Amino acid sequence: MILAVVAFNMVYAHRVSLRHDSFDLQVYAGAVHSWWHGGSLYGYGLPDDGRSWGFTYPPFAAIIMGPMAVLPWPAISTIQAFASAAATPLILALLLRWTAQRRVWWLPLVVAAADVLLVPFEPWDSTLSYGQINILLLALVAVDLLVALPRRHVLTGIGIGVATAVKLTPAIFIAYLLIIRERRAAFTAAATAAGVTLLSAVAAPHESIDFWTSKLFDIQRIGEPSWTDNQSLNGTMHRVYPHGATMFWVAATALVLAVWLWRVRRSGGLADRVAGFALAAIVACLISPMTWVYHLVWLIPALAVLFDHAAARDVPGRRRLVALVGLLAAYGLLCSHLVWHTYNGLLGFLTANLYVLVSLALLIGLPLRPPGRQRARPRGAHRLGRASQPLEGVSA
């Protein structure tokens, strides 16, 4: 069944890629091709809507995308579509495995149903239509936090480190590891990110200096922060307080980080890895200078936590109902495309910042299991067999 899910995702990715012509993937391929053939990595630009769009990631990302310099476009688009198509059910399986075990549901069927429900989910749809890489980064982090970390594997942190070296946003998970006192994993992640970045600097010194001293701080190069596309706190502040946006953004970021820390501490360090994963991902979306709509695939873990809570037999009925309402509301709003509708007054503010408000609501209201109940053995677990025993610390 999982192969059928991957095939379905491949077909869907091909169909929706026609909408935006995999524009971001074209930028990646064009910049890497230009660089590997003597041009400038950050000097390349693909014109669209009166702007020139260039490569926005560190040189390490361009190095691992090196095959794009020699492969034909059909091969590049097919490989990227397959990678996203395969990464999606992997992520869903890791997020939903404990819920399925506890309710004695067949995990492949749960994954297939969840995958179909992603079709109208705008962040996932946009990721595929633009040829973005966020699903792949999400998979790297998910494997680290939901497979390697519960097993205390010595390599825990490498996935987070690689993801951070490709794109800075996943660095929030290094902070998360420190907060929950997983110091070895945090050190491995930080060392991996630093190591591959330094190796990239040796391989591409000019591009590394250009990125880390100039391009990193040029937000305008990525786009206008005030655009509705930017569903981060920075985007909201630029839309509401255009002349003092940076100051308000810094203050809002500090407040969000404080709430995050309070929630993690209050939950006893979050032995529930899925909830910890979800909260860190929400914070990453909120505090990033630019959070395009397709970046909000990082909210998928939060939806999984809401589903887990709504389906739990050991949670009081009222809390299950609240979780279900929250799940339907968050999922529905993220599928609504209301963010693109223009209105005046308060309604205009709400729609223009809709996904920011959803992220804030998830940060504050995401249900967490009491620490003493996070390792309870599910009913019927004895029927699942030895191979189906839950991993320690996975969303119980």
Domain hosting 40: range is: 2-375
Q: What is residue 368's predicted lDDT score, i.e. its pLDDT?
A: 85
Asked if residue 389 belongs to a domain, the reply is: no
Cα 104 from Cα 99, distance rounded (Å): 8
Cα 186 from Cα 189, distance rounded (Å): 5
Phi/psi for 18 (5° steps) reads: -70, -20
Asked if residue 56 belongs to a domain, the reply is: yes
Cα 124 from Cα 335, distance rounded (Å): 10
Asked if residue 347 belongs to a domain, the reply is: yes
* Predicted model pTM: 0.90
Asked if residue 388 belongs to a domain, the reply is: no
Asked if residue 382 belongs to a domain, the reply is: no
Asked if residue 390 belongs to a domain, the reply is: no
Give the angle 356-359-360 at the CA atoms, nearest 5°.
90
Provide block-wise average pLDDT over 10 residues at a time, the chain (396 residues). Answer: 89 87 92 91 84 90 94 94 95 94 92 95 95 95 93 92 95 94 95 96 93 85 87 95 90 96 75 86 96 96 95 87 96 94 89 96 88 46 38 37
SS3 44: coil
Domains contained in the chain, number: 1
Q: What is residue 270's predicted lDDT score, i.e. its pLDDT?
A: 55
Longest distance between any two alpha carbons in the chain, whole Å: 63
CB burial readout 296-322, b (16+ within 10 A) else e: bbbbbbbbbbbbbbbbbeebeeeebeb
Q: What is residue 265's predicted lDDT score, i.e. its pLDDT?
A: 80
Asked if residue 88 belongs to a domain, the reply is: yes
Q: What is residue 70's predicted lDDT score, i.e. its pLDDT?
A: 93
Q: What is residue 83's predicted lDDT score, i.e. its pLDDT?
A: 95
Q: What is residue 313's predicted lDDT score, i.e. its pLDDT?
A: 84
